[in-house]
Amino acid sequence: MASPSSLSNLITIIIISIISISASSANLYENVDITWGDGRAKILNNGDLLTLSLDQSSGSGFQSKNEYLFGKIDMQIKLVPGNSAGTVTAYYLKSPGTTWDEIDFEFLGNLSGDPYILHTNVFSQGKGNREQQFYLWFDPTLDFHTYSILWNPQRIIFSVDGTPIREFKNAESVGVPYLKSQPMRIYSSLWNADDWATRGGLVKTDWTQAPFSSSYRNYNDATACVWSASAGKSSCNDNTLKSQSGGGGGGDGWLNEELDSSNEERLKWVQKKYMVYNYCFDTSRFPLGIPPECSL
């Protein structure tokens, strides 16, 4: 028979476990707000899961409670299965205003059996037109996969399941404004874009397949600088930001993270095998010369 002290310790462990599970399961309630959709967006399973849905009347969306000025943010997403042509699942960072900054993941729907296209873009001070597009090396509708944005003073890195697919470097040295002064929130939405999303708008949304649904879990902003509007500063140490904003690398955490040789090779592998569009090579679009950041 267990001693009273052993039973007490066991009860304490159980209580701590329950509290931990509850805290973990409540993260979506704590981290995001549903912003539109008239009930089409739902937080389920005590906060472990969020779903967005789209029908012919409306899509739906959510945003992070926090704003960030630099961060490393992860989200696990399972995309709309089956015939999702015409739909777009967007997951992005964005600041308000007319000269906004933005970092985009957009998943362009497909006909059943065709691969999704992952569309990425970067806006600085309202200027975008920096699209790169990829096929994925797995079916993103069968299970959850982790989509990550690393944004620090030197670079932005897009990653899928830990594999970097795109790097956008600070190009202020060649006159390109960098995303460094405008706090941004995470947003996500599921919406109808059949005027352009699938084969340039040739394939329209099949509403007999509706409602369409995407799922989210494990939102992680633990390594991010949370912006306080009232204080006018982020949760990161100002001196740390200033000391690391001059470029270079050195392994001093995500604020100074850069691709090591292994990740450089993984990036090259993805871009060689799965990239389907890169604005830096589109000379017909830029007849006067490719944008200056492409030189980096």
How many CA atoms are closer than 13 Å to the CA of 58, on its beta-carbon side?
Answer: 10
How far apart are the C-alpha atoms of 238 and 244, rounded to whole Å? 10
How far apart are the C-alpha atoms of 8 and 268, rounded to whole Å? 56
Token readout for 2 is 């267990």
How far apart are the C-alpha atoms of 151 and 149, rounded to whole Å? 6
How far apart are the C-alpha atoms of 234 and 242, rounded to whole Å? 13
What is the length of the chain?
296
The single residue of 67, 106, 258, 293 carrying the catalytic annotation is 106
The single residue of 102, 167, 257, 293 carrying the catalytic annotation is 102
Q: Which residues, at least 6 apart from 10, have a Cβ–Cβ distance to it below 8 Å?
A: 2
Other Cβ atoms closer than 10 A to 100: 17
Token readout for 241 is 């930001």
Looking only at the bridges linking them, the beta strands covering 117-123 and 145-151 are unpaired
Token readout for 155 is 């670079």
Contact 73, 221 (CB under 8 A): yes
Other Cβ atoms closer than 10 A to 78: 19
Give the CA angle between residues 127, 270, 204 to the nearest 5°.
60
- Measured CA to CA in angstroms, residue 290 lies from 196, 276, 277, 278, 285 at distances of 24, 18, 14, 11, 9
Question: Is 106 a known active-site residue?
Answer: yes
- Report the candidate in 105, 99, 37, 35 with the shortest Cα–Cα distance to residue 75: 105
Question: Is 30 a known active-site residue?
Answer: no
Q: Token pair 């849905």 is at which residue?
A: 53
Known catalytic residues are 102, 106
